[in-house]
Structure 1
């Protein structure tokens, strides 16, 4: 098996999971630093429980990594984890995956199974089928979307049902046999159904977070604690158990996939656009409330947590950075810290931020912040400190 783009958050856990189940796996990635890091037995990012598995499969000789595209020719199964980005106009690029595959076309050979793993714009699977069909090689194509949450891959790859789709029953069976290596339960769909299933999943989560954030704004504007209300209405009441807490709804998937679904509906997805306005507007809302309460222009503000979610080192699409940009315009100065993020050289140690801030905002709900007892006001929309969410 070859995992194309296997040095990232989706591909690497998948590669080492398959290798740990006995398959011989090669990773191809254009990121030379990530490849070197993997071959050294280290993870390029934080993923609970993955480091020891990586070292185990490397020692067993079942995993290799390379920046050489020719490794694609050696695989019986080619798993592609290159997704579909959205541009600055919130339009998806449906050509991203075909373009990446075109760069590897000389290494495809008949008899291979090509599995698209990352989220794709609806219709991309069919486009890939046509692309490969026009190149004179008989490569079978399946779309089997990833379903993991960052940080939980090494549990969820083995416990969550896998969605498998392909154009024919024979190819679906082949893809199902591959993913049965990881999990007992496989759900079969057509490619178009599977493409929408993946987008629906992430968009549904994004909309739920938007509902919670809208409720938070309503309560907070009245000086009421949303989290206190949420806990009360959900207590032993299963129909409200899935109402999430308020907080920054960010990261590389939820917003992007909601915008892909909006584009797919010719921008008539009013609910999705409304969710985007609520979630993306939360940083500005918080700053505006703080500005009305404090002399923000003369305060040094510290942001605790720059990752897009708690216990992560991933800053992709993190709303903490949007918060930082707003504060840099409205506050005297801004200090930022995060215990996990290593790619931002401008971060300060936690102790420095605590000692030099007049006001704190929790940007990512890292568990280590729970024990803090700051001597300055804290805006805590997550209610991580247990002192309420009112700003």
Structure 2
């Protein structure tokens, strides 16, 4: 920590607890972000208390039962057995922690506006038990200004002053489910505090836990905007890839071959790939936090909204192309048997949030198709107003289908078997790139 940062007496005491691993750390929200973070903090030697409103989650954690793909089962069992990690629905235990990270959802409401209710309710619970010498870090992705304009007033409602009595910072989560190379521990962290003291103390905590670098910025708003920029960058470039796919389809050009050729350039180009649409809790949602906030400054984020229109249109494009493929076989969509391979939003994970497969499935179902949904990572999911069960991908499923649509390129799928199918195979992910192509093969 920089020697120039002036700390209050309670700040110095908290910093010493962090340095000596004597601090008790709280994590509010034990989902895809919170549980991996809680595990890493416990592995670093801290006593960790996880908070969640879902009793099922807290019970599973206390039994050492893992439900998040990026957490190692054995590590969770070990730290729970060693009493390094415990979970509870009782928020009064926040009084026992020295630092707490807020990792709750920040969805969009029905009007496509930010819903910060989970952040606000978490802040109110923390404010009830906030004490001197406590660090609060918001990790949930949100619009610039949330930490200072929403969370800080709630916490200061306790009568304590930020930067002197307690410390508040924003450090955006960087989680890529299923990524085999980068995880919570080795991904660099960005930290921006309300005051330099807040930034310094939060940075010290993350430095003691993570292997990745900790990059300090001048304010929470910079860190909040940085996170939005990350996801908007991907959102827009994926939209470009999707638009290229639509155009190449009309021109009879293989967009995947085009992208592979462009990727040979060692500078000035980064490959992004088309697909059936955007999924997950981040990329389809986060850019619209900025769109909403921009209206406060009388600015219209045209590029972001146009990218959203393109990406949101991809499921419809897939369904239309599926209909044309069936027409080529002399069959109508209504009454056809369609095998949909993959309901998770990306390969090798079980997360179906905002999955583009869902609107595809719903449209096909509503148009009268008979569906067989296969996903080795998802046993059931909600769509079409009901809970739908997945089935195992077998030769019989392929034989019974009039059309096979690959919507998620899970590694576990038997692509060799799929490539030998004599039915129409519509590959939206270029999953069969390295396999012999089926006789009736359609690409995005």
TM-score band, normalised by the shorter chain?
A: over 0.9
Residues of 2 paired with 1:155 and 1:135: CA distance?
Answer: 38
Query: In the TM superposition, what is the alpha-carbon distance from 1:293 to its structure 2 partner?
Result: 3.2
Residues of 1 paired with 2:108 and 2:272: CA distance?
Answer: 28
Residues of 2 paired with 1:153 and 1:133: CA distance?
Answer: 41
Decide which of 55, 66, 70 is 2:77's aligned counterpart. 55
Q: What do residues 39-96 of structure 1 show as CA deviations (whole Å, max 9, x unaligned)?
A: 222212322x522221221122211111111221111011110132211111112444
TM-score, normalised with respect to structure 1: 0.94
Which residue does the alignment assign to 1:148?
175
Decide which of 317, 324, 333 is 1:285's aligned counterpart. 317
- Higher mean C-alpha deviation, range 336-345 or range 357-366: 336-345
Query: In the TM superposition, what is the alpha-carbon distance from 1:296 to its structure 2 partner?
Result: 2.0
Which residue does the alignment assign to 2:424?
377
Query: In the TM superposition, what is the alpha-carbon distance from 1:123 to its structure 2 partner?
Result: 1.4
Which residue does the alignment assign to 2:66?
43
Which residue does the alignment assign to 1:316?
353
In structure 2, the residue corresponding to 1:239 is in which secondary structure? coil
Which residue does the alignment assign to 1:354?
398
Which residue does the alignment assign to 2:443?
390
Question: Does residue 209 of the first structure (1) align with residue 244 of the second (2)?
Answer: no
Residues of 1 paired with 2:340 and 2:407: CA distance?
Answer: 6
- Higher mean C-alpha deviation, range 102-111 or range 257-266: 102-111
In structure 1, the residue corresponding to 2:268 is in which secondary structure? helix
Decide which of 208, 215, 236 is 1:187's aligned counterpart. 215
In structure 2, the residue corresponding to 1:180 is in which secondary structure? helix
- 1:1-391 to structure 2, matched below 5 A, reads 1-5=25-29, 7-47=30-70, 50-126=72-148, 127-137=150-160, 138-152=165-179, 155-181=182-208, 182-189=210-217, 190-266=219-295, 268-294=300-326, 295-344=332-381, 345-351=388-394, 353-369=397-413, 370-373=415-418, 374-386=421-433, 387=437, 390=443
Q: What do residues 288-328 of structure 1 show as CA deviations (whole Å, max 9, x unaligned)?
A: 12213323224111110001111110111111011001111
Indicate the structure (1 or 2) with the bigger Cα radius of gyration: 2
Whether the 8 Å contact between 1:304 and 1:337 is mirrored in structure 2 is yes
TM-score, normalised with respect to structure 2: 0.83
Q: What do residues 178-207 of structure 1 show as CA deviations (whole Å, max 9, x unaligned)?
A: 000213511111111111001111111111
Residues of 2 paired with 1:160 and 1:251: CA distance?
Answer: 19
- Higher mean C-alpha deviation, range 217-226 or range 152-161: 152-161
- What number of residue pairs does the alignment pair up? 389
Whether the 8 Å contact between 1:29 and 1:67 is mirrored in structure 2 is yes
Q: What do residues 201-258 of structure 1 show as CA deviations (whole Å, max 9, x unaligned)?
A: 1111111111111111111122221111211222254333433344432111111101
Whether the 8 Å contact between 2:26 and 2:94 is mirrored in structure 1 is yes
The answer to which structure has the higher helix fraction is: 1
Structure 2 residue runs of 5 or longer lacking an equivalent are: 1-24, 327-331, 382-387
Residues of 2 paired with 1:52 and 1:174: CA distance?
Answer: 31
Aligned CA-pair RMSD = 1.9
Query: In the TM superposition, what is the alpha-carbon distance from 1:153 to its structure 2 partner?
Result: 8.5
Whether the 8 Å contact between 1:91 and 1:260 is mirrored in structure 2 is yes
In structure 1, the residue corresponding to 2:178 is in which secondary structure? coil
Residues of 2 paired with 1:338 and 1:184: CA distance?
Answer: 33
Residues of 2 paired with 1:322 and 1:179: CA distance?
Answer: 39
In structure 2, the residue corresponding to 1:211 is in which secondary structure? helix
When residues 368 and 340 of structure 1 are mapped into structure 2, their CA distance, relative to the original with a 3 A threshold, is: same
Whether the 8 Å contact between 2:28 and 2:122 is mirrored in structure 1 is no
- Higher mean C-alpha deviation, range 171-180 or range 30-39: 30-39
Whether the 8 Å contact between 2:127 and 2:154 is mirrored in structure 1 is no
Residues of 2 paired with 1:194 and 1:330: CA distance?
Answer: 45
Whether the 8 Å contact between 1:336 and 1:353 is mirrored in structure 2 is no
Whether the 8 Å contact between 1:337 and 1:349 is mirrored in structure 2 is yes
